[in-house]
Amino acid sequence: MGPEHWLYTIPLRLRSLFCWAQVDQELDDELRDHLERKTQEYVAKEMAPEEARRLAQLDLGGVEKVKEECRDTRHASWIKDLVQDTRYGLRNLRKSPGFASVAVLTLALGIGANTAIFSVVNGVLLRPLPYPEPQELVQLHETSTAWGSGGWGSASGPDFEDWRGQSRSFTGLAAAFGSGLNLTGAGEAQRIRALNVSVDFLRLLGAQPAEGRLFTDDDFKPGAPRVVVLSYGLWERIFGADQSILGMKLTLSGQLYTVTGVTSRDFAPLRDEELWTPVTPDNPTMHDRSSHWLDVIGRLKPDVSLQAAGTELDTIAARLRKQYPDTNSTRGVRADSLEELRVSNVRPALLILFAAVGFVLLMACVNVANLLLARGSARRKEMALRAALGARRGRLVRQLLTESVTLAIAGAALGLALAWAGIPALLAIAPEDLVRSTGPVHIGALVLLFTATLSLLTGLLFGLAPALQSRRLDLNEVLKEAGGRSGSGSAMSRLKSALVVFEIGSAMLLLVGGGLMVRSFASLLRVTPGFDPHNVLSMQLYMPNTTTAELPPRLASIREMLHRVRGLAGVISASSVVYLPFSGNNINGDFAIARQPPPKAEQGQEAEMRIVSAGYLSTMRVPLLSGRDLDDQDDASGAHVAVINRALAERYFPKGDAIDQSVSLWDGPDRWLRIVGIAADERQFGLAEPPRASIYFCMSAMKTSDVSQFLPISPLSFVVRTATAPANSAKPIVAAIHSIDADMPVTEVLPIEDLISESLARPRLESTLLGIFASLAVVLAAVGLYSVMAYIVTQGTHEIGIRMALGAEQKDILSLVLTQGTKLISVGVVAGSGAALGLTRLMSDLLFGVTASDPVTLGAVAILLIIVALAACYVPARRAMRVDPMVALRYE
Amino acid sequence: MIASVTEDIEMSKPSDLVQGTLDMLLLKFLALEPMNGFAVSQRLKQVSGDVLQVSDGSLYPALHKLEQEGWITAEWKTSEYGRRAKYYSLTRLGRRQLEKEADNWGRLSSAISRVIKLKEA
């Protein structure tokens, strides 16, 4: 087709599209002219004018048919048809507002739920990490045979250096330690999230400077001057994007750092950090193979697979095990894709939710298809008439499909509005980490495309059955039929019944899923955290760098702060801890027991180290099982005493003789702490995590070198038990702390109940959403069943009338209808249970305290569904029961 | 009786014309002189006698198809009856199409006649 072809055809197409009426008029004129001439010709053959006209008509055939064929040669006609069909469809829908609103609302719920969940899937799962070649980025973790296959942890400095020096799979490896630094001297003292990074960190992530320079190799040499790179966000937030910041000195946790540069605006920090400082060999922890504290990331060479890199790392780890048996005998290493790590914990839940809304949409389609089928029987005459007037079958199917797609698009528009309103509500109950790890969750281009595609597909899907039915139209039969009753009632009931069985099965499946989530959430709520979280306020204090010499006054000032807080009105007691339960952080380490042989190397003997002040256990109301709590005198005098928890006592002192025995912390058996008490177990890691062996001791009992090392990097949490709602006491408490040290940043002042609630956010979200979808499914199934039973009763009115005339009683009729309904229900429930048993196994990782094949859940939801379904049958059944036989027999 | 319309309704196609041949004939007529639809139907009957039975009903869709392809163009003129009538004429594109089809037809028919004339062995 050359350009010349378009020269002729384009004006013609445009003309037939936009001057439709005129083109049609011309067609009319042309055929009229033809008939005129033909008649003349016959008249010229001495035929009567009437007869001549009739013959001319006969030669031409049906004028309308010829016209339609001529119209079809204009390729623009389908657009015209589409517009016409849509207009006709809309008019039709306006004529039956009840049907239209039920259908549109049903579809809107289905499409809206899908749009909302897809926008989350899009934001979380489909968005790549915001770094160049993100698929090459990996994270390396240390593993330990003591933790089993699921455990992994941070790396030690020397291990990291060995991996970096010996591996060939990576273009680079970099380590980072997430900490915080106290920024003072620039307004109010602030805690800034910071990463202490090795030389390649920013380079690996592809960071570019917006101002100044990023790190150079010289910044990492021993004795190099302290430098800092700011994120664009921090630069803007605190320094107003002032370019004179370059070369300025900032006081961070009491030390001076020179600003060398600012990262570009589009560089996304890996861990929400706001500035970076180099980790240099001056840091003694870098040389300690038993301190595991570094996050290690790497970039694979483009031609190296993750698996190959893992194999190489295994070899290196094996070498290190041989070389350093004291520290590395249990240690291994694993590499995971950074993208995979980011989404792996949310993916199963999101996919299950996505599948659930998919089912809801399918059920919505089935319901609308059912409605259309019922309407279809009423419209059979209309269709037959159209066919008789010359409409071709394909054209009829197209018209019906256009109508259903019109419905679907209306549903999608409303659904989009629902999703738009629902997404903020969804995000409000979503866990913080989910929201933070995602890109923006909103209705963007991709989501719109998804919804548009979805609405077309649903329109075709639910329109298909009714449309295909119209093809099987036998015009003679239909037009001969007396009333609105259709002849193929039984085939129709079969189709509708199959659809309803599918619906009940899907509802059963979703109910089981939702039921399991709700039960799992309920059993999570029944778990007590091991302490009394009610009326306890927590807050984080960040210590500046402290030399060994400065340590005693620092500890004294902490004791003084606690003392002041305890003296406040409304405060019952106060203490401190590192780390707070439910904070997501912990310190664990090996320990030894006096007069017991050291544990076998590959098993390890680890405990959670809980560094507390006097009265921690009583403030948190952790029950004391025997012995006593640590008191002020222990704290002030630095007595070498400790409290252990039940988990440790049961595991390591099975004879119950723990009191007065001694344990040592970390690897130094040169300081023994006498056990003075045994406490009940705290759930430190969340309600679903079993408690671990723990040792409680005061900071003053530790070696000063250990304290000065961890104090600047671990926040000290104050816990304050108050007499009334803890939020009221927040201000005076912070003021009391600042009265001792005005430069102490106090952050995250939150009731502990909020922390627990936040830790439940994800299971709450999952069970809420699945619960909502399951309820939607039940409603849809009930509506579907109701409409089918109503249809069957209407179809059978005549038969019911005969039965009643022959002496059937009302209750016979009732049981007749209910039996039919029960059949559908039981098939659906059995099929749904089978599907549920197969599919819920996929969600067993999300469940707590309940198995995926929990018979109680299965039984309970089956009973619930059967009751709802029977109720849906009962209404039409009662109508059948009240049929007046005389009326029914006359009913045609 | 409406029963007849319940049979599958198909595009009415001239039964004993090879597909595309009607197009070629129409192009040829209009190459000789511009004329209107009625004249084309007359000409078809005159030329081919009763061999080519093309009903009036299938003639018009065929003409419209050629028009939509850009091979013929139409203009409205006042006819001898004093009424506006649609006159078709060949376009440059149509002339080329006619040459092509005539060429094909020539080759096809000579090939077929060669086959038909083959003697049985």
Question: How far off is chain A from B112, nearest CA to CA, in Å?
Answer: 30
Does B91 sit within 8 Å of A31, measured CB to CB? no
Residue A848 per-residue DSSP state: S
Q: Which segments of A127-223 are extended strands (E)?
A: 137-144, 170-184, 190-197, 209-212
Q: A149-153, A368-372, A818-822, B105-109: which has the minimum mean pLDDT?
A: A149-153
Q: How far is B90 from chain A (nearest CA, A)?
A: 12
Chain B residues with beta carbon closer than 8 angstroms to that of A62: 57
Q: Which residue of B has its CA nearest to A12?
A: B68
Q: Does residue A485 have a pLDDT over 90?
A: no
Of A817, A786, A787, give the one whose Cα is nearest residue A800.
A817
Burial call A849-862: b when 16+ CB within 10 Å, e when fewer: ebebebeebbeebb
Prior bond to A874 cis, omega within 30? Answer: no
3-state SS of A717-775 is EEEEEECCCHHHHHHHHHHHHHHHCCCCCEEEEEEHHHHHHHHCHHHHHHHHHHHHHHH
Q: Specify the range with the lowest mean pLDDT, choosing from A188-202, A300-314, A803-817.
A: A803-817
Q: Average pLDDT in the A70-81 region?
A: 72
Query: Both tokens of residue B46?
Result: 């005159």
C-alpha separations of A704 from A575, A579, A635, A709 in Å: 20, 19, 14, 9
Contact B57 A62 (CB under 8 A): yes
Residue A336 has pLDDT above 70, yes or no: yes
Distance CA A732, CA A735 (A): 5
Residues A209, A265 contacting (CB under 8 angstroms): no
Cα A633 vs. chain centroid, distance in angstroms?
Answer: 50
- Helix, strand, coil percent content, chain A, rounded in steps of 5: 60, 15, 25
Task: Determine the pLDDT at residue A161.
Answer: 94
Residue A142 near residue A156, CB atoms below 8 Å: yes
Q: What is the mean pLDDT of residues A814-840?
A: 90
Distance CA A191, CA A194 (A): 9
Q: Which residues contact A212 (CB under 8 A, 6 or more apart)?
A: A229, A246, A259, A260, A261, A262
What sign does the CA torsion over A705, A706, A710, A715 have? Answer: negative
What pTM was computed for the model? 0.72
What is the rounded CA–CA span in Å between residue A365 and residue A461?
Answer: 7
**Closest Cα in chain A, distance from residue B74 (Å):** 11
Range in A556-570, A820-834, B38-52 with the lowest mean pLDDT: B38-52
CB pair distance less than 8 Å for A61 and B12: yes
The whole-number pLDDT of residue A667 equals 57
Of the candidates B3, B56, B93, which has its C-beta nearest A59's C-beta? B56
Q: Can you tell me whether residue B120 is helix, strand or coil? A: coil
Q: Averaged over A550-567, what is the pLDDT?
A: 90
B56: chain A residues, CB-CB within 8 Å = 34, 38, 59-61
Q: What is the pLDDT of residue A625?
A: 94
Task: Supply the DSSP symbol for A294.
Answer: B
Residues 354-413 of A with CB under 8 A from B: 387-388, 390, 392-393
**ipTM score for this prediction:** 0.80
Output b/e per residue, A481-513; b: 16+ Cβ within 10 A.
eeeebbebeeebbebbbebbbbbbbbbbbbbbb
Q: Contact A34/B79, CB-based, under 8 Å?
A: no
Q: Do B2 and A388 touch (CB under 8 A)?
A: yes
pLDDT in tens, B38-96: 888 888 888 776 666 678 888 888 888 888 888 898 888 876 666 778 889 999 888 99
- On chain A, the residues whose CB falls within 8 A of the CB of B81 are 36-37, 40
Q: Does the pLDDT at position A481 exceed 50?
A: yes
Do A716 and A540 contact (CB within 8 A), yes or no? yes
**So what's the pLDDT on residue A145?**
79
- One-letter amino acid at A471 equals R
Residues 6+ apart with CB under 8 A from A773: A113, A353, A356, A357, A359, A360, A510, A514
pLDDT computed for residue B75 by the predictor: 86
A-B contacts (CB, under 8 Å): 100
pLDDT band (50, 70, 90) for residue A622:
very high
pLDDT band for A180, please (50, 70, 90 cuts).
confident
DSSP A39-81: HHHHHHTT--HHHHHHHHHHHH--HHHHHHHHHHHSTTHHHHH
How distant is the Cα of B5 from the closest Cα of chain A, in angstroms?
A: 6
CB spacing of B93 vs A4 below 8 angstroms: yes
At A446 the pLDDT is 86
Q: What is the DSSP string of A226-286?
A: PEEEE-HHHHHHHHTT-GGGTT-EEEETTEEEEEEEEE-TTPPPTTS--EEEE--TTSGGG
User: From the list B3, B38, B70, which residue is nearest A34 (CB)?
Assistant: B38
CB contact (8 A) between residue B2 and residue A479: yes
Closest-CA distance of chain A to residue B113, Å: 33
| Mean pLDDT of chain A, nearest integer | 85
AA letter at A851: T
Contact A70 B64 (CB under 8 A): yes
Residue B90 burial class via C-beta count within 10 angstroms: exposed 0-12, middle 13-18, buried 19 and up: buried
Q: Which residue has the higher pLDDT, A573 or A550?
A: A573
Residue A685, CA distances (Å) to A475, A536, A586, A616, A721 in order: 72, 18, 8, 18, 21
What is the band of A476 on the pLDDT scale with cuts at 50, 70, 90?
A: low
**The most confident of A29-43, A184-198, A215-229, by mean pLDDT:** A215-229
For B15-117, CATH gives 1.10.10.10
| Interchain contact, A387 vs B5, CB within 8 Å | yes
A429 CB neighbour count, 10 Å cutoff? 12
Query: Residues A766-787: what's their mean pLDDT?
Result: 89
- Could you say which DSSP state residue A200 is in? T
Rounded Cα distance between A159 and A292, Å, is: 9
Chain B residues at the A interface, defined by Cβ less than 8 Å, are: 2-3, 5-6, 8-9, 11-12, 36-38, 41, 55-57, 60-61, 64-65, 67-70, 73, 76, 79, 81, 83-86, 91-93
Determine the pLDDT at residue A856. Answer: 92
Res A600 pLDDT > 70: no
* Residues in chain B closer than 8 A to A26 (CB atoms): 76, 86
For A653-665, what is the mean pLDDT? Answer: 89
- Backbone dihedral angles phi then psi of residue A173, each to the nearest 5 degrees: -125, 145
Reading the block at residue A654, the tokens are 């099975």
**A8–B contact, CB cutoff 8 A:** yes
Nearest chain B residue to A35 by CA distance is B38
How do residues A22-67 score in pLDDT, each as one tens digit?
888 888 888 888 888 888 888 888 888 888 888 888 888 878 888 8
Which of B7, B8, B86 should one mutate to test binding to chain A, selecting the residue with the greatest count of A CBs within 10 A? B86
Phi, then psi, of A604 in degrees rounded to 5? 70, 170
pLDDT of residue B3: 32
Which among B36, B57, B85 has the least Cβ separation from residue A66? B57
Write the pLDDT tens digit of every residue in A368-387: 888 887 777 667 777 777 77
Smallest Cβ–Cβ distance between A70 and the set B41, B56, B61 belongs to: B61
pLDDT, tens digit, 9 for 90 and up, residues A688-733: 888 889 999 998 888 887 787 777 777 899 999 999 888 888 999 9
Residue A486: its pLDDT value, please?
47
Residue B70: which of A9, A36, A392 has the nearest Cβ? Answer: A9
Residues in chain A: 892
Q: For residue B99, how many other CB atoms are within 10 A of its CB?
A: 12
C-alpha separations of A440 from A120, A409, A436, A758 in Å: 9, 26, 9, 21
**Which residue has 């005969």 as its token pair?**
A802
Residues of A in contact with B8 (CB under 8 A): 393
| pLDDT score of A807 | 83
Find the length of chain B. Answer: 121
Map residue B54 onto helix, strand or coil.
coil
Q: Do A390 and B5 touch (CB under 8 A)?
A: yes
pLDDT tens profile A627-640: 999 998 998 888 89
Residues of A in contact with B76 (CB under 8 A): 26
The answer to whether A66 contacts chain B (CB < 8 Å) is yes
- Chain B residue numbers with beta carbons less than 8 Å from the beta carbon of A12 are 67-68, 70
Residue among A803, A608, A567, A580 nearest A697 (CA): A608
Query: CB–CB of A566/A558 below 8 Å?
Result: no
pLDDT band at A277 (very low <50, low <70, confident <90, very high): very high
pLDDT tens sequence across A492-523: 677 788 888 999 999 999 999 999 999 999 99
Helix (H) or strand (E) holding A102: helix A97-124
Domain boundaries, chain B: 15-117
Query: pLDDT above 90 covers what percent of chain A?
Result: 35
Q: What angle do CA A377, A383, A388 make, to 5 degrees?
A: 140
One-letter identity of residue A487: G
Best of B12, B42, B50, B56 to substitute, by most chain A Cβ atoms within 10 angstroms, is B56
3 state DSSP class of A204: helix
pLDDT above 90 for A343: no
Stretch A822-837: mean pLDDT, rounded?
A: 92
Q: Per DSSP, which regions of B16-119 are E strands?
A: 35-36, 72-78, 84-90
Find the helix packing angle between A730-740 and A551-566, rounded to 10°: 150
Q: For A527-538, what is the mean pLDDT?
A: 92
Closest-CA residue of B relative to A388 is: B5
Residues A560, A565, A567, CA angle at the centre, nearest 5°? 95
Q: Which of A31, A33, A59 lies at the smallest CB-CB distance from B55?
A: A59
Instruction: Please tell me the predicted confidence (pLDDT) of residue A14.
Output: 78
